[in-house]
Structure 1
Amino acid sequence: MRLIQAFTATCLVLCNTSLWAQDANLKKTLAERLPSLPKIEEVSKTPMPGVFEIRVQGNEIFYTDAKGDFLIQGALIDTKQKRNLTEERNDKLSAIPFDSLPLKYAFTQVKGNGKRKLVVFADPNCGYCKRFERDLQKIDNVTIYHMMYPVLGEDSKVKSRNIACAKDRAKTWNDWMLQGIAPPAVACDNHNIDAIVEFGKKNRINGTPTLFVADGTRVPGAIEAAQIESLLNGVKP
């Protein structure tokens, strides 16, 4: 038994060493041949024999052979299971655990029983955000965490501050987004907008609206009411 255990342990060490060496060689080869390629952060096997995934800049994915002679950009499809493996991997890489989101900086709206959870990063001057808010009015039994995310200029920052400092932030937000009633000028020191923007930049939230649900799934862009329902019920839009 001890001999078998020792043999197994040795095999694991050799396998891990071999994989590490292969990863290092791939990184070195591709860096030398493609100087413009961003630094490779991770190399991992794919279900396709001889093809490896390389990850750069957080969640950008390429594929290569074992020697780094070829580089592929595009979707890897499992035809037997009818699965887009690249899309699934991107979803996993872009997800953020719900408890890691800066929920303490949000203002909330509770509709119905509020059991379902939705986080929305939005800019008050974003047309897509306004369209999304109209569809969001059709959704019930949800708690919405609104994150003020002014990325479209100085006026967005002013409006975000005025909304975040309002006595009734949810009403002020809805008045502006749904009816075009400009938020009154208000000043306060605890709007936390800078902290939200810092979090968003760190986690590559590059556009508005960007949505997150309870399992951490991220959905960029405005989606319609039926898609919002699917997302809240655990079905990807």
Structure 2
Amino acid sequence: MKKTIVIMMTILTGLALLFVAETGASAFGGCEQDCGKCHSLSKGEAQETLKQLIPDIKVLGVRMSPSRGLWEVSLETHGKKGIAYMDFSKENVIIGQIVKIKTKKNLTRKRLMELNSVDFAQIPLNDALVMGDPNATYKVVVFDDPDCPFCAKLHKELKKVVEKRKDIAFFIKLFPLKMHKDAYRKSVAIQCKKSLQLLEDAFAKKDIPDPECKTDIIDKNIELAGKLGITGTPTIVLENGKVLGGAIKAGQLIELINDKGNGSGADETKK
């Protein structure tokens, strides 16, 4: 008899648990659509937890991540902004990227672009090299180094974009990196003539003549890049303030230019 009672109790317990799993109901409360009703993580808590791994970390904000069960923590360290994910137990941190399987969209990259966005209006365009119609509807800034091989690859893609879309123009700011010893001289020479052809000659590794003028534009470009947090080339800045790094294919670049949206999903917690 006792054995039968134990079996019945086991079955009833299993059915009860199954019901909870199917309905989301629980006598002890449960998380449905809004996990924030049950779980919380303040900026202060995130700061104290993460500084055990990165002592000089500064937590900028906390919000729910696109993946349930994880907090998204926006942070800054060594002058760089980034994202980490922390589980609801607050014991584990994930450094990586979240990709939506159905759409193949990199959600982490999208958030990083939003997080590192800049004020496009701060960038003067009158001294830039222009590829395309200066009065085009869509204006895109590109920080280039004449000795950067990835800049050369991107340049070819920019030309494809302009050939395909007359309503897009690229404003190229010469930003020589210290690691390229002759890039500053070449940048000044190219800027003096404000010549796209000379820039393309540099990308083709042709000899670039010495500068024919004196200009402080290159120094101003370097200073501007520092203020905007730009440290590498090529760097693309869209009108909505989003910053893209690396050589991007023409088709993908057109998609990003067409997407004027600045929506960032869930709101940051203000704790």
Q: Quick check: TM above 0.5?
A: yes
Q: Is the 8 A contact 1:124 1:156 kept in 2?
A: yes
Q: Following the alignment from structure 1 to structure 2, what is the Cα–Cα distance between the partners of residues 232 and 84?
A: 17
Is 1:150–2:176 an aligned residue pair?
Answer: yes
Structure richer in helix, relative to its length: 1
Q: Following the alignment from structure 2 to structure 1, what is the Cα–Cα distance between the partners of residues 171 and 87?
A: 44
Partner of 2:46: 26
What whole-Å deviation, never above 9, does each CA across 1:28-75 have from its counterpart, x for those lacking one?
2432x33x3441322312155663222222421112245632222122
The structural deviation recorded for 1:187 is 2.9
- Match runs of 1:109-188 below 5 Å: 109-111=131-133, 114-138=136-160, 139-140=162-163, 141=166, 142-151=168-177, 152-166=179-193, 168-177=194-203, 180=206, 182-188=208-214
Partner of 1:63: 85
Q: What is the TM-score with the length of structure 1 in the denominator?
A: 0.73
What whole-Å deviation, never above 9, does each CA across 1:145-170 have from its counterpart, x for those lacking one?
1100101323000100111122x433
Partner of 1:53: 72
Identity between Structure 1 and Structure 2 (%): 27
Q: Following the alignment from structure 1 to structure 2, what is the Cα–Cα distance between the partners of residues 43 and 67?
A: 18
Measured on the aligned residues, the alpha-carbon RMSD in Å equals 3.3
Stretches of structure 2 lacking an aligned partner (at least 5 in a row): 1-39, 262-271
What whole-Å deviation, never above 9, does each CA across 1:149-202 have from its counterpart, x for those lacking one?
101323000100111122x4334334443583524432313x421221122233
- More moved, 68-77 vs 168-177: 168-177
Q: Following the alignment from structure 1 to structure 2, what is the Cα–Cα distance between the partners of residues 68 and 192?
A: 48
Q: Following the alignment from structure 1 to structure 2, what is the Cα–Cα distance between the partners of residues 165 and 95?
A: 30
What one-letter code is carried by the residue in structure 1 that aligns with 2:74? R
Q: Following the alignment from structure 1 to structure 2, what is the Cα–Cα distance between the partners of residues 113 and 26?
A: 46
- More moved, 209-218 vs 177-186: 177-186
The structural deviation recorded for 1:83 is 5.6
Q: Following the alignment from structure 2 to structure 1, what is the Cα–Cα distance between the partners of residues 170 and 103?
A: 35
Which entry has the higher C-alpha Rg, 1 or 2? 2
Partner of 1:234: 259
The structural deviation recorded for 1:97 is 3.3
What whole-Å deviation, never above 9, does each CA across 1:187-237 have from its counterpart, x for those lacking one?
313x4212211222333323221112222232211123333433333399x
What one-letter code is carried by the residue in structure 2 that aligns with 1:155? D
Q: Following the alignment from structure 1 to structure 2, what is the Cα–Cα distance between the partners of residues 121 and 61?
A: 24
Q: What is the TM-score with the length of structure 2 in the denominator?
A: 0.65
SS of 2:153's partner is: helix
1:135–1:63 distance in 2 versus 1, CA, 3 Å = closer
Report the number of matched residues. 214
SS of 1:164's partner is: helix
Stretches of structure 1 lacking an aligned partner (at least 5 in a row): 1-18
